[in-house]
Structure 1
Amino acid sequence: MNNVIVTYIVKPEFVSENKSNIQKFLNDFKTLDQTKFEYKVFVKEDGVTFVHFSNYENKEVQNEVLNIPSFKEFQRLRDESRLNDSHKVEFLQPV
């Protein structure tokens, strides 16, 4: 199982657009076999810090999910919004 947490901070003026972009790829993820992965997105109390939690059955499933065009577009737009080096990826190991 591959478990990942991604955290980043967006500018306040980008929050609404980021939420819309997230909803697009989450809708597309619904067309995939969701028994093989889990993907959830949260916003912290500050309203600008986003946390993506995901786990995948294996690397192949992870690659399939992360190569959905709407997800790649979300990443591009997020990165272009200038995250001020706040983007952090953590890989988790089960206990």
Structure 2
Amino acid sequence: MISVEVSYTVKPAFLEQNKRNISLFLADFRQLTHLNFLYQVYLKDDGLTFMHLSMYENEEIQQQILHVPSFLQFQQERDESNLDNAAQVKQLTLIGSSLRLI
């Protein structure tokens, strides 16, 4: 199991576009029902900091997800938006979950 947390802070002018881009790639992710993964996006209390939590059964699935065109477009626009806080990526170790993941 691969678990990853990514957080970043957008500028107010990019907030709505980032939300739209997230909606687009999540819609595409929902079509990938044959892959065993979980991807969630949260907006923190400051209203500008996003946190993405993802879990993948293995590296092959992770790579398939990370190469979905709408996700690549989201990342490109996010990175070109002049973030207030650059994306921070952390690997996580899953201890347990009430959700059956595999």
Q: Same-fold call, TM > 0.5?
A: yes
Q: TM-score, normalised by structure 1?
A: 0.95
Deviation at 1:87, TM superposition (A): 1.1
Distance of 2:84 and 2:71 partners within structure 1: 21
Distance of 1:11 and 1:62 partners within structure 2: 28
Deviation at 1:94, TM superposition (A): 2.3
Structure 2 unaligned runs (5+)? 96-102
Q: Report % sequence identity.
A: 47
Distance of 2:76 and 2:44 partners within structure 1: 22
SS of corresponding position for 2:86? coil
Identify the residue that residue 99 of structure 2 maps to in structure 1. none
Identify the residue that residue 17 of structure 1 maps to in structure 2. 17
- Would you say 1:37 and 2:37 are equivalent positions? yes
Distance of 1:91 and 1:56 partners within structure 2: 12
* Distance 1:29-1:91 versus aligned 2 partners, 3 A rule: same
Identify the residue that residue 56 of structure 1 maps to in structure 2. 56
Q: TM-score, normalised by structure 2?
A: 0.88
CA deviation profile, 1:29-48 (whole Å, cap 9, x unmatched): 01102660000000001100
Runs (4 or more) in structure 1 with deviation over 3 Å come to none
The Cα RMSD (Å) is: 1.2
Does the 8 Å CA contact 2:35/2:61 hold for their aligned counterparts? no
